[in-house]
């Protein structure tokens, strides 16, 4: 019997996939959970579920450090924001696809499987990466059999798969963010209830005390919080805790999926919102006006590539080269004020600062103001000529 490696979370979709792959597709199933910062009990749940359902082998692969350094830090340097939110799930999927592909090669598996439906984005993200790395057959049982959630639950019961009560919401969580969807959240006129949020406190429940936080960056990536140097994943977790306790990082948007559907999405991403905004503030001090303008184009292009599952596209690698070159000067400290859902940049300093306090001061005479007369006189000359001669 041929082997298949299944990207496994322990939830309903992937649990059902184990038995479907065995019974309907005639495969021996190897399950693998890739740790990209989801809750520890979710990791343990996937291991326990795999054992109970009966996969022939289960792997838990720790990819937290790689995720933080090679994906999240690149997203910070690129200011990766898609339609108003920092990417989280989209950044994790190519890494999971890469790890699953490597495992399939190691195990000599003929196929790779996932539990994605045919309505979402993840099918594109997983499969694009897998096809770029292997020649394995790709199997998506939920999509291929056109199963609904109720049909999946029926099948699970028929196979003796223990599935807990339906969760109110569908949750995807990693180091960078928490995506919440489904149930009443599908109605865009319904305010997300308090119980949908775990990481970010409401403004009522947020800490009463104002906190001034200093974030140190080197070459565009954060390295320390309040002078405490931390490993990338630990730094991100600390930022998430601090910002979340101050009510920073909840997002409610209508999002455009790859296939063209609009969906209502709720996100919690306190670390991402804090770090990207602090990073942009430092860029404004250290990069030129033309660089900053081009950064907006880079950010938009980069974010769309990631969202659309094209992490492996050579353009993303090309953009990283350009970004890395500019980020050599994005080094320094940003001071952020956090209080009751409010986040303000209140200070910044860098050895590569282009801000010249002595010249910009109203008390400076070194820069002769009279030299501006000719420049101002001819400024907007084409618009002036149009208004005088052609405007009706």
Known catalytic residues are 13, 93, 122, 170
Q: Is 379 left (phi over 0), alpha (psi -120 to 50) or beta?
A: beta
Residue 303 CB-density burial (10 A; 0-12 exposed, 13-18 middle, 19+ buried): buried
Pair 63, 95: CB distance under 8 Å: yes
- How far lies 334's CA from each of 73, 186, 214, 223, 271, in Å? 17, 38, 6, 12, 15
* Count of Cβ atoms closer than 10 Å to residue 101 Cβ: 21
The partner residues of 211 in beta bridges, in order of sequence, read 338
Residues sharing a CB contact under 8 Å with residue 149, sequence separation 6 or more, in sequence order: 12, 166
Can you tell me whether residue 228 is helix, strand or coil?
Answer: strand
Task: Kindly tell me the sign of the dihedral angle through the C-alpha atoms of 143, 267, 194, 261.
Answer: negative
Pair 127, 120: CB distance under 8 Å: no
Pair 262, 67: CB distance under 8 Å: no
Pair 8, 114: CB distance under 8 Å: no
Alpha-carbon span 85 to 77, nearest angstrom: 15
The partner residues of 342 in beta bridges, in order of sequence, read 339
Residues in the chain: 392
Can you tell me whether residue 344 is helix, strand or coil?
Answer: strand
């Amino acid at each position: 019997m041929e082997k298949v490696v299944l990207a496994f979370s322990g939830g309903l979709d992937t649990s059902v996939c184990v038995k479907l792959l065995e019974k309907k597709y005639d495969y021996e199933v190897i399950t693998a959970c890739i740790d990209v910062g989801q809750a520890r009990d979710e990791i343990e749940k996937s291991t326990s579920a795999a054992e109970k359902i009966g996969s022939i082998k289960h792997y838990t692969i720790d990819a937290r450090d790689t995720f933080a350094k090679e994906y999240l830090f690149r997203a910070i340097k690129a200011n990766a924001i898609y339609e108003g939110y920092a990417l989280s799930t989209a950044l994790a999927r190519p890494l999971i696809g890469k790890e699953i592909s490597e495992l399939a090669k190691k195990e000599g598996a003929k196929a790779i499987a996932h539990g994605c439906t045919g309505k979402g984005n993840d099918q594109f993200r997983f499969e694009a990466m897998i096809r770029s790395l292997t020649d394995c057959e790709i199997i998506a049982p939920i999509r291929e059999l056109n199963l609904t959630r109720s049909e999946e639950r029926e099948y699970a019961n028929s196979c003796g798969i223990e599935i807990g009560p339906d969760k109110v919401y569908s949750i995807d969580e990693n180091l960078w963010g928490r995506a919440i969807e489904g149930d009443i959240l599908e109605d865009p006129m319904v305010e997300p209830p308090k119980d949908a949020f775990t990481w970010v406190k409401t403004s009522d429940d947020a800490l009463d005390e104002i906190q001034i936080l200093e974030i140190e960056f080197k070459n565009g990536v954060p390295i320390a919080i309040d002078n405490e140097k931390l490993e990338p994943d630990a730094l991100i977790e600390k930022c998430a805790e601090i910002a979340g306790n101050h009510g920073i990082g909840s997002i409610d948007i209508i999002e455009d999926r790859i296939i063209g559907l609009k969906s209502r999405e709720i996100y919690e991403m306190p670390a991402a919102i804090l770090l990207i905004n602090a990073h942009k503030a430092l860029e404004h001090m250290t990069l030129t006006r033309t660089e900053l303008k081009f950064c907006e184009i880079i950010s938009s292009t980069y974010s769309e590539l990631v969202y659309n599952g094209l992490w492996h596209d050579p353009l993303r690698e090309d953009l990283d080269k350009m970004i890395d070159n500019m980020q050599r000067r994005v080094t320094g400290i940003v001071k952020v004020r956090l209080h009751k859902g409010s986040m303000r940049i209140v200070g910044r300093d860098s050895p590569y600062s282009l801000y010249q306090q002595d010249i910009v001061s109203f008390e400076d005479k070194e820069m002769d103001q009279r030299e501006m007369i000719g420049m101002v006189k001819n400024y907007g000359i084409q618009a002036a000529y149009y208004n005088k001669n052609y405007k009706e």
